[in-house]
Structure 1
Amino acid sequence: MHDVLIEGGLVVTASQTMQADVAIREGRIEAVGSNLGAARTRIDARGKMVMPGGVDTHCHVEQISGAGLMNADTFESATRSALCGGTTSIVSFAAQHPGQRLRGVVDAYQALAAKGAMIDHAFHLIVSDIAGDNLARDLPELIGEGHRSIKIFTTYDKVRLADEAILDVLWTAKESGALVCFHAENDGLIRWMTRRLLDSGRTEARFHPLSHPRAAEIEALARMCVFAEFTGQPIMLFHVSTREGVEIVRAARARGVPVVAETCPHYLFMTGDQLNLAGQEAAGLMCSPPQRRRDDQDALWAGLEGGALQVVSSDHAPYRLDATGKFAHGAAAPFNRIANGMPGLELRLPLMFDAMVSGGRLGAQKFVALTATSPAEIFGLTGKGRIDVGADADIAVWDPDRKVTFGKDDLHDATGYNPFAGRTVTGWPETVLSRGEIVVSGGRCLATPGRGRRIVMARSQAMRPSTRAEADELDHETREPERATP
């Protein structure tokens, strides 16, 4: 007898759509088909869409920022919010600050997750200090234990690495079998623009986008692609926001550089002019890189369709609109002293479902690919992001007709505001299962803190050169790049 049987739904994966039942036993998918037999629990999915639970591979949870500010969410509140939005696996950050040992940092974050996380999770290792045993011992050992993703910043004072150190990390990752992810913006351009804005009295939150010019992203993305090409080390470029960024990634992939890239809902559904608000009203919409223009949105959608961009993540970075968060340096703080980021874990899938499935932009299978299957494959999250026999039974049952209008403070995280308040979406995850356990039903989260497990990252099976079609689109002859040798 099955433990759970999801009956009569339209099962959607990254590769096919079919009317089928899904049988679950001992936390895994046992069968997909019809006439699957008896079950202890039956879920009526007639008229619904049955999809893999979302996989969000870019989330800041219970993390101390480079400026020393703790964000709003614990693992309990963040993963509760994730579940309520249909996400069943996350990759957050173990953030090393200068002077810290990587081993101790990872142990501390794992303890926090073990206590609070309601869903399965993994970590990116933020590397900001390669001195001593960090690079020579800790990083290779942690990679060997299944922490196969590294995050590097090319900007921000206390966490950024210089180019030579970046190359050292890339080489260590290559030798040990890890993926290196980048927040790629040119630090000098940001510093220069910030200084000029502040000196001219343009200090309010609405001037933040000007302090992160598109040239800062363009230069740094291109430079990291050159580093990947030179070393032969696979990289992931986080939160691509510009049309030039999409072209940089497409061109790099076309010539065989092992690079993948993501974007986020706030770049697809917001523009920079939305921050043109008086006083500090724009603080809740501040993020880095900032939102851009309509033509950038069009380019990002084209990149998702054509394969230059493979993932849509939330970049969930929650800070409250008070002295504990955005205004830790005072209500009148200049924009460069206001914490960057906004909540997104609960919003990512409903926003993307509304656009892609309800709105027909790219379709349901591509929705699954971008928000579940592809991120799981890229980061080696075995058993996640798919509805196949033997996979973990992480499943979201969507009501495609349900309309939800976001309120000012209706999310299940601890941030206290919704940056998409007033927006109406069509489609909502009404029932969510994690490893076969019903964890969301009837709008209520039923999961318990600490039930989530750490996912041991396998070597990525998704890092490959671009398709011939991408190369043809660029009319670019591929070549063997010059690469570094040991």
Structure 2
Amino acid sequence: MTLDLAIRGGTIATASDVFRADVGIREGRIVEIAEGVGAARETLDAAGRLVLPGGIDSHVHISQPSGAGIRMADDFESGTRSALMGGNTTVLPFCLQGKGQSLREALQGYHALAEGQCYTDHSFHLIVSDATPSVLGQELPALVADGYTSFKVFMTYEDLRLNDAEILATMDTARRTGALVMVHCENEDAIRYLVGQHEARGDVAPRAHATTRPVAVEREATHRAVSLAEVVDVPVVIVHVSNGAALSEIRAARARGRRVVAETCPQYLVLTAADLEGMDWEGAKFVCSPPPRDAAEQVACWTGLETGDFDLFSSDHCPFRYDDAEGKLNPRGRTSFRHVPNGIPGVETRLPILFSEGVTKGRIDLSRFVALTATNHARIYGLERKGSIAIGMDADIAIWNPEARRTIRHADLHDGADYTPYEGLEVVGWPEDVILGGRLMVRGGVLVGQKGAGTYRPRVLSSLARVA
């Protein structure tokens, strides 16, 4: 049978191998990998380029409610378009449960926002902010059975955080259903204490965001999260780790035999707390939680990537416009760091930053890059037929020019924000062609696919899970 598409002459990379071969695609799946695949209706010449699995960004925020008068910069159209142009073919946004809201109701709203709008495939994590007996005893088990197999809890943000008893109860639901729990680890009470001190002395500029969320509040919360998971005996994902001390807590838990997944993000590799000191409130562009640290913590995070301590590399894309009354410079945000929305854009630049700073500079090899950006995400979060180039897998592929040199400019990006925190960063390596389910979506860096090509993907239980 004639192939729909053949990718010829490229170098394929998986999480375990790098080899020269062609790829044959039919009906949205990879059906041939050989030195020479059969005849095809369309051919892509990948000579001199890398043929990699499409990126999976398992930590993004899109169209998420963000408080009175604040609006997130990306909807599902702009957010997934930006993801696609950065070499991603699947994203996992969060579905935020409001206080008093059922999770099912929240999901219906998110599905409605995403329907027909996506350039990539997508699935949803659940954010549990109201851990009532009915939510934990009825809603969550039913939703896990329906393919929503991961949920997130917060230890910070007054309107989102759960106390330790609520976290334990939520983890117990995960233990019983086989779901995977993600934890945002920062100690809210310690942060509020430090915020009070800063406000008492009038230190309210954006740079204070970093000094009110020091390493100690993340380290303590990480220790507490892995300890609570140990009490309940469940695996746990520690998201957006920013420093070596928190990573040491994860290493210690693993040494005790605990199943702990560690994630880090680009902001902890190339930004520092000094970026929050920009003049005229420019530092607000870099406000995210946890905040960027210092050069020594950048080294610690790179070491974790190099040695295998980190399993996942995600963007934590959480975009707000900067010069906007509903964004970073909202009326209250202009007066204090406390009211600057937390989050930065980054879904489109995640892969090029890690490729350039990691692969090109020799810190990690190509297979490690694939594992950190695609394969591990699919395995850990139960995305079937995703994350690798192999017979029978979805034909989600990014073809990279490893020699392409670009300077990151927001004017060239495709999200809904009005800035990038990585403005001016020079990178080597960029995805030029992107294929989603066998359909060519990006050709030579130009969007050629249609909105709505991406679909919702239910997930199976994580490979880490054990149903009690």
If the length of structure 2 is used for normalisation, what is the TM-score? Answer: 0.97
Structure 2 match to 1:354? 356
AA in 1 matched with 2:208: F
Structure 1 match to 2:242? 241
Report Cα offsets for 1:385-414 as digits up to 9, x if no partner. 100100000000001111011124321010
Structure-to-structure mapping, 1:436-475, within 5 angstroms: 436-462=438-464
Distance (Å, rounded) in 1 between the aligned partners of 2:229 and 2:171 = 8
Structure 2 match to 1:318? 319
Report Cα offsets for 1:208-263 as digits up to 9, x if no partner. 10011111101100001001111111110000001101111111111111210100
Identity among equivalent positions (%) equals 45
Tell me the CA shift for residue 66 of structure 1.
Answer: 5.4
Structure 2 match to 1:179? 180
Matched, 1:338 2:340: yes
Structure-to-structure mapping, 1:278-293, within 5 angstroms: 278-293=279-294
Distance (Å, rounded) in 2 between the aligned partners of 1:134 and 1:338 = 31
Report Cα offsets for 1:315-374 as digits up to 9, x if no partner. 000000111211223462200100011111000000011012221211111110101111
Tell me the CA shift for residue 68 of structure 1.
Answer: 6.8
Tell me the CA shift for residue 463 of structure 1.
Answer: 6.1
AA in 2 matched with 1:380: G
Structure-to-structure mapping, 1:55-454, within 5 angstroms: 55-65=56-66, 69-131=70-132, 133-321=134-322, 322-330=324-332, 332-454=334-456
Report Cα offsets for 1:156-178 as digits up to 9, x if no partner. 11111111111111001110110
Is the 2:90–2:121 Cα contact (8 Å) retained in structure 1? Answer: yes
AA in 2 matched with 1:418: T
AA in 2 matched with 1:428: W
Distance (Å, rounded) in 1 between the aligned partners of 2:464 and 2:355 = 24
AA in 1 matched with 2:160: V
Which runs of at least 4 in structure 1 moved beyond 6 Å after TM superposition?
A: none
Is the 1:329–1:338 Cα contact (8 Å) retained in structure 2? Answer: no
Distance (Å, rounded) in 2 between the aligned partners of 1:116 and 1:155 = 32
AA in 2 matched with 1:419: P
Is the 1:4–1:42 Cα contact (8 Å) retained in structure 2? Answer: yes
Distance (Å, rounded) in 2 between the aligned partners of 1:114 and 1:448 = 13
Report Cα offsets for 1:37-67 as digits up to 9, x if no partner. 1000100000000000000000000111256
Distance 1:4 1:150, change over 3 A: same
Distance (Å, rounded) in 1 between the aligned partners of 2:115 and 2:262 = 29
Distance (Å, rounded) in 2 between the aligned partners of 1:449 and 1:68 = 28
Q: Comparing 447-456 with 34-43, which one deviates more in the overlay?
A: 447-456
Distance (Å, rounded) in 2 between the aligned partners of 1:160 and 1:329 = 25
Tell me the CA shift for residue 89 of structure 1.
Answer: 0.5
Distance 1:172 1:205, change over 3 A: same
Report Cα offsets for 1:252-278 as digits up to 9, x if no partner. 111111210100000011111122222
Distance (Å, rounded) in 2 between the aligned partners of 1:35 and 1:337 = 58
3-state secondary structure, aligned to 1:349:
helix
AA in 2 matched with 1:432: V
Distance (Å, rounded) in 1 between the aligned partners of 2:429 and 2:308 = 25
3-state secondary structure, aligned to 1:438:
strand
Number of residue pairs matched by the alignment: 465
AA in 1 matched with 2:384: T
Distance (Å, rounded) in 1 between the aligned partners of 2:176 and 2:183 = 19
AA in 2 matched with 1:260: V
Distance (Å, rounded) in 1 between the aligned partners of 2:402 and 2:4 = 26
Is the 1:260–1:463 Cα contact (8 Å) retained in structure 2? Answer: no
3-state secondary structure, aligned to 1:381:
coil
AA in 2 matched with 1:405: T
Distance 1:449 1:120, change over 3 A: same
Q: Comparing 386-395 with 331-340, which one deviates more in the overlay?
A: 331-340
Distance (Å, rounded) in 2 between the aligned partners of 1:137 and 1:191 = 34
Is the 1:260–1:309 Cα contact (8 Å) retained in structure 2? Answer: yes
Distance (Å, rounded) in 2 between the aligned partners of 1:463 and 1:397 = 33
3-state secondary structure, aligned to 2:280:
coil
Q: Comparing 63-72 with 379-388, which one deviates more in the overlay?
A: 63-72
Distance (Å, rounded) in 1 between the aligned partners of 2:333 and 2:192 = 23
AA in 2 matched with 1:424: E
Structure 1 match to 2:46? 45
Is the 2:235–2:464 Cα contact (8 Å) retained in structure 1? Answer: no
Q: Comparing 327-336 with 274-283, which one deviates more in the overlay?
A: 327-336
Tell me the CA shift for residue 455 of structure 1.
Answer: 1.4
Report Cα offsets for 1:156-201 as digits up to 9, x if no partner. 1111111111111100111011000011100111101111111111
Q: Identify unmatched segments of 5+ residues in structure 2.
A: none
CA RMSD in angstroms, aligned pairs only: 1.4
Tell me the CA shift for residue 447 of structure 1.
Answer: 2.6
Tell me the CA shift for residue 431 of structure 1.
Answer: 0.3
Is the 1:411–1:417 Cα contact (8 Å) retained in structure 2? Answer: no
Structure 1 match to 2:55? 54
